[in-house]
Amino acid sequence: MTAEGDDGYDFVSRYFAPAKGIPEDSVTGGAHCALTPFWVKRLGRSELRAYQSSARGGDLICRLNGDRVELTGTCVFFLEGEASWDFGSLSAKSPPFNAFEPVPGRTTPVDEKTLELNALSA
């Protein structure tokens, strides 16, 4: 959810994802990456101050830089690590992943720029 802000904020937001086990996310970087281009176009500025109005709340500076969004603010790390995959060994039907099966609930098609790996059920 988003709305034009007040009290020094360009826009405010809240993020709910109960189907994914997230009743409300405190501050959502991914959501602000999607909201920033919308509000930049609407307000006519490339740098905006945002507030996510959850119980914890959070201030962000959101900048649209070409086709990228840069976010600045205080964060709380909950997980840090590295992951790597050898995609050369995967094919369209290689278990345990299938990148070409539809995602339940997805309303937009996956194009060649998007690779989604969906775990196949046994």
d(CA 13, CA 31): 9
> For 25-39, 53-67, 79-93, which range has the lowest pLDDT when averaged over its residues?
79-93
Residues 64-117: tens digit of each pLDDT: 999 999 999 987 777 778 877 776 665 555 555 444 455 555 444 444 333 333
Q: What fold, for 2-72?
A: Diaminopimelate Epimerase; Chain A, domain 1 (3.10.310)
Nearest residue to 65 (alpha-carbon basis) of 84, 77, 53, 48: 48
Domain boundaries, the chain: 2-72, 85-122
Alpha helices in the chain (DSSP H): 29-43
Tokens encoding 33: 């990456």
